[in-house]
Chains A and B, each alone.
Chain A
Amino acid sequence: MYELRAVDKHFPGVHALQAVDLEVRRGEIVGLVGENGAGKSTLMKVIYGAYQPDGGEIAIDGKTVRFQNPRQAMHHGIGMVFQEQSLIPNLTVMENIYLGFEDRFVQFGVISWRSMAAAAREQLAKVKLDIDPAAITSDLSFAQRQLVELAKVLTLEERIDGDLVILLDEPTSVLAEDEVKLLFRIVRDLTKRASFIFVSHRIDEVLDLSDRIYVMKDGRIVDVVQRDDAEVSVIQRKMVGREIDKEYYREQKQKPYNPAHVLVSFDDVSLPGAYHHISFDLHAGEVLCLVGTEGSGREAILRTVYGLDSCSSGIVTVKGERITRFSAMAGVRRGIGHVPRERKVEGIVNGMNVYENMTLAQLRRFARLGVMNVPEEKRLATRWTERLGIKTPSITKDCGGLSGGNQQKVVLAKWRSGGSDVLLLDHPTRGLDIGAKEDVYEMIREMSADGVGILLVADTLEEAIGLSHTILVLKDGEIQKRFDGTPGSKPSLYDLVHHMI
């Protein structure tokens, strides 16, 4: 009923979608899996009308359609439940549900709240959510908001003739296990009214919910599997393009750390609203991974170590010195480097070239009486570009134009070349392709062999397990469990998840 035929999409320098065929039948749940950067989000944007394809066509019931914007797509029955929720927090639930479509409740120029509330209640019933439509959205739980979002999309049912196709973009990423089950039950129930495209990087969930699964890699659909023939390991191999094994995370290169040399130490440290009673030691050569859901306090701990946030109680020690004044400047001076999650915004300066980015954290070392020694900077940049294999036409090229992997290497070079021996890595492989990820893993191993202490918040649990010497599982800002990650006795996925939720 809904079909993409040989859809192509180009961006400057990237062939984001290559001849993608996809079909959704009435009442079907179709899964879409792929690594970060495989083209899932581009494909979704084409489906809900935010992007126009440059090749191929979109057909609904055999008729070719073209959407200029998401609103036109909506008129054809295509709705999107966003991953980053699109509800406006300070409006009521019903205002959110009918945002932009209030006309039908307007009498003599004013909105009849009563009829809107009644209509909203009907929508909420579809997703089995029993809340007051006049409740303020920000008061709802995350799971409730997700359902409200779904209810909002379902209003299409009354507005248009024809079938509905609803996109669910990573709807489970912030939900607890029982909430996920509830959501799945509701979605299955709703197949009477609509078809779904379910996008996730959690293969097990996709398998659980979907009738058919499309596997994407490098902008192509590499396989379509029926649920009954599907096997996690097979799909995973197709997504990644090869076997994921110990080799991938360079486990054979994991050397024991030096337990006598403590670089960073937390002793019963708390920051209300973020984390409580956190104690750990980071040793030279250790990769210590903080694992937990979004908001479990992982990032806040990194921020405190770096100096971006202070703590309210407890003792933070960096290299034997107790920290009392927290600032990023002081952190850098103490030899702490920070590889932020938002690489393009916080990692590199878009608009500055390779050598300018590399020396940004150590300007003082390259300045005499405030005047920069540019030849010296260029020598350093050339050395590190070669050492890390950074692919750039020249060290005077704008970093914003490099690929994600090369940008990340520039960020790592920035800290390593300045002699940082404590590195905070916040999702260091986010959005990188496989090859670039492996490079980053290789560098992590090299750094820890050099005696650098690494505090890691990994992109996936597999990555956390594969890379770390020590894993701390956090939940609601408290350490639940400490796992030892010596090769051979690494914890399993299940062990971690069990303590996370």
Chain B
Amino acid sequence: MPDMTREFLKPHFPWITLVALTIIVGLANPDFLSISGLISLMADVVPLLIMALGMTFAIYIGGIDLSVQQLANMVTVMTTVYLAQYGIGVALLVILAGALFGAVSGFVTTRLYVPSFVSTLAIGFIALSIAKWLSDQRALFMDATLRDIHFGWMFDTTMGVPHELVLGLVLVLLAWFLQTRTSFGRALKAVGSGELAAVASGLDVDRVKILAFCISGMFAACAGLMFSVKLSGGDAQLANGFLLLAIVAVLVGGTPLTGGVGGVINTLIGTLIVMVIRAAMVYLEVDATQQQMVFGIVLIIAIALTIDRSKLRGVVK
């Protein structure tokens, strides 16, 4: 039965894809496999990884968070503007802002019954407006000294390992712990795999969903913060291009839009797949203007391969 082997292999697709792609790209260009090269590629992809980790929670419950890119934009501006005033405390400020925006998305989705793809899109535009207003629609730059004092540690290395990479892995561990070891994670799984059964078991489904969006917002803020510090500035378009990649990372990693399976480790793999594809396009000299097209196509393929058709209940059939 080919169907059954496919079902059996499905959870393994993501890492098989990652290994296969890495080997292919490595054969075509042996430089790709150098340790230092890989580490610097991975360090580059950390802000995307963080954003995708947050997005995983929203997708895991069968929703989506389209506000993450705009939240990150807003955060780059906030970080740049308030760095002088609050120093490292700006991190706390932006993470709280991310949590607040996420919670509002969650509230609008669960209590006002607005589907998450609309509610988060709308909340994203609010964040964008704030970013534009706060930045006066200009690109802002950080004071180099202040940046180095407060956030310089982020880009140091210990034994050749960049701290930002360590930070990214710490956040992966944190998200993984939340997903697999906590009662919130268990409730999240129940909501993602069988929302009606979760309701019938007396779980506070709305609270779980609001928390999921809240976490997504916080991670988006972390991503924006790191990106802003990395580029030493902020503007309302800085993080553009992240949204598509974050969604691709989650879905290619094997968390389907219908939710319930996959999770943060999958997203780690998905992000690495995105990284390899991006590196391959550089080697193959794919024009920068065409890269988004490639990811758009990858996204469609990933959704078609991962989505659980039995959960669509006649929507597509």
* Chain A residues within 8 Å of B, Cβ to Cβ: 12, 308, 328-329, 331-333, 338, 340, 342, 345-352, 356, 359-361, 363-364, 366-367, 370-372, 374, 414
Contact = CB atoms under 8 A, between A and B. Distances in A.
Given A351-B260, A356-B189, A361-B201, A342 B196 contact: yes
A349 B186 CA distance: 11
B181 A349 contact: no
Among B183, B185, B199, B203, the one with the most A-chain Cβ atoms within 10 Å of its Cβ is B183
B200 A371 contact: no
Contact of B203 (A348, A360, A366, A372): A360
B50 to A, nearest CB: 22
A372 B193 contact: no
Interface string B191-208: 011101111111110000
Given A348-B194, A352-B194, A360-B190, A338 B200 contact: yes
Contact of B183 (A329, A346, A351, A363): A363
Given A366-B183, A371-B181, A348 B202 contact: no
B183 A360 contact: no
A361 B261 CA distance: 20
Given A332-B202, A351-B260, 11 more contacts: A12-B1, A12-B4, A328-B202, A329-B203, A329-B204, A350-B194, A351-B193, A356-B186, A356-B190, A361-B201, A371-B182
A349 B199 contact: no
Contact of A349 (B1, B182, B185, B198): B198
A333 B202 contact: yes
A356 B191 CA distance: 13
A349 B197 contact: yes
Contacts of A346: 194, 196-197, 199-200
Interface residues of B, number: 25
B8 to A, nearest CB: 12
**A-B interface, 9 closest residue pairs, ranked by CB to CB distance from nearest:** A332-B202, A351-B193, A349-B194, A367-B183, A363-B183, A346-B200, A361-B201, A360-B201, A349-B197
Contacts of B190: 349, 352, 356, 360
Contacts of B182: 367, 370-372
Given A360-B186, A363-B187, A345 B202 contact: no
A19 to B, nearest CB: 22
B260 to A, nearest CB: 5
A58 B205 CA distance: 49
A350 B201 contact: no
Nearest to A343: B197
Nearest to A363: B183
Nearest to A340: B200
Contacts of A331: 202
A308 B184 CA distance: 22
Nearest to A370: B182
Nearest to B185: A372
Interface in B134-182: 181-182
Contacts of A364: 183
Contacts of B184: 370
6 contacts: A332-B202, A340-B200, A346-B194, A346-B197, A360-B198, A370-B182
A328 B183 contact: no
Given A356-B186, A366-B183, A351 B194 contact: yes
Contacts of A332: 201-202
B203 to A, nearest CB: 7
Contacts of B204: 329
Contacts of B198: 349, 360
A367 B194 CA distance: 21
A303 B182 CA distance: 30
A363 B193 CA distance: 17
Interface in B197-254: 197-204
A372 B202 contact: no
A347 B193 contact: no
B255 to A, nearest CB: 13
A356 B196 CA distance: 16
Contacts of B200: 328, 338, 340, 346-347
Contact of B193 (A328, A349, A359): A349
A388 B204 CA distance: 29
A351 B182 CA distance: 18
A332 B4 CA distance: 38
B261 A351 contact: yes
A308 B181 CA distance: 29
A372 B181 contact: yes
A35 B193 CA distance: 30
Contacts of A329: 202-204
Nearest to A360: B201
B25 to A, nearest CB: 34
Nearest to B191: A349
Contacts of B199: 308, 328, 346
A342 B196 CA distance: 10
A476 to B, nearest CB: 27
A331 B199 CA distance: 12
A356 B204 CA distance: 17
A316 B34 CA distance: 71
A347 B197 contact: yes
A363 B194 contact: no
A431 B184 CA distance: 33
A329 B186 CA distance: 16
A352 B202 contact: no
A332 B202 CA distance: 6
A340 B183 CA distance: 23
A105 to B, nearest CB: 28
A332 B1 CA distance: 43
Nearest to B197: A349
A356 B181 CA distance: 12
A345 B194 contact: yes
Contacts of A347: 197, 200
